[in-house]
């Protein structure tokens, strides 16, 4: 903590990989202790304090922010799902404990962020922060102008709510589109087009908030700075 005091929930979020809201829930549940005493909401921690969760020490660590180019065929889970490999198979051991910031499904490629900073992950994924994500999408057939208008101007009703996306045609073909969304619901882009009878045959994320792939090759990664 560099000889400075810090709010306990921020310290827990940064070093335990949860959001500040989740850190507050841990404190309220009586699971966080400072120097052997049960912590309370709003307290501050100091450099020499011993902070534990469920009896285990929290070790202060430098926050890490990683940009990774996920290839098709890999899942974002630490555990293998069926025969699909996990993206953690492509990362060195020092990054194995990082958590993904949102997800891409197995059949999608592109930019994935990983971090040990739970507060950062929360701010990048919670709908109230409206972080824009941009994708290159290819459909199995040309998108009809009426369907383009429905998606972009009115939204498509899905079982978990309305899905509205920005669409920009790529070239002359109406099969290839740049898609912009500020949500992160499960398979939202695929389900939106599927509701209108289209199949997404390629989905690639190239931008997430202020972060871009910027020429990063498939399977490669780079540490990045936390964006303000």
Q: Known catalytic residues?
A: 105
Length of the chain: 228
- Taken in order 78, 84, 87, 93, the sign of the CA dihedral is positive
Q: Contact 8/44 with Cβ under 8 angstroms?
A: yes
The tokens describing 130, both together, are 């409206």
Distances (CA, A) of 40 to 7, 26, 28, 75: 11, 10, 7, 38
The rounded distance, in Å, linking the Cα atoms of 113 and 101 is 5
The rounded distance, in Å, linking the Cα atoms of 215 and 206 is 10
Q: Contact 181/151 with Cβ under 8 angstroms?
A: no
The tokens describing 129, both together, are 């922060």
Widest CA span of the chain, in angstroms?
Answer: 66
Q: Match 């592109």 to its residue by tokens.
A: 110
Q: Contact 139/175 with Cβ under 8 angstroms?
A: yes
- Taken in order 87, 88, 89, 91, the sign of the CA dihedral is positive
């Amino acid at each position: 903590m560099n000889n400075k005091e810090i709010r306990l929930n921020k310290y827990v979020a940064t070093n335990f990989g949860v959001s500040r809201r989740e850190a507050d829930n841990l404190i309220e549940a009586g699971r966080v202790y400072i120097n052997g005493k049960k912590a309370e909401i709003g307290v501050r921690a100091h450099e020499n304090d011993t902070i534990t969760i469920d009896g285990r020490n929290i070790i202060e660590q430098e926050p890490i922010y990683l940009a990774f180019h996920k290839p098709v065929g890999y899942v974002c889970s630490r555990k293998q799902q069926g025969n699909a490999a996990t993206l953690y198979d492509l990362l060195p051991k020092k990054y194995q404990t990082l958590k993904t910031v949102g997800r891409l499904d197995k059949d999608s490629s592109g930019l994935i962020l990983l971090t040990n900073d739970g507060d950062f992950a929360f701010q990048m994924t919670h709908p109230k922060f409206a972080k824009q994500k941009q994708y290159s999408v290819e459909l199995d057939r040309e998108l009809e102008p009426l369907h383009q208008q429905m998606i972009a101007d009115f939204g498509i009703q899905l079982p978990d709510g309305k899905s509205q996306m920005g669409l920009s045609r790529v070239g002359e073909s109406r099969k290839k589109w740049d898609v912009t969304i500020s949500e992160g619901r499960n398979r939202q882009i695929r389900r939106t087009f599927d509701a209108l009878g289209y199949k997404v045959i390629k989905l690639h994320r190239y931008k997430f908030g202020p972060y871009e792939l910027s020429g990063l090759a498939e399977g490669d990664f780079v540490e990045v700075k936390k964006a303000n």
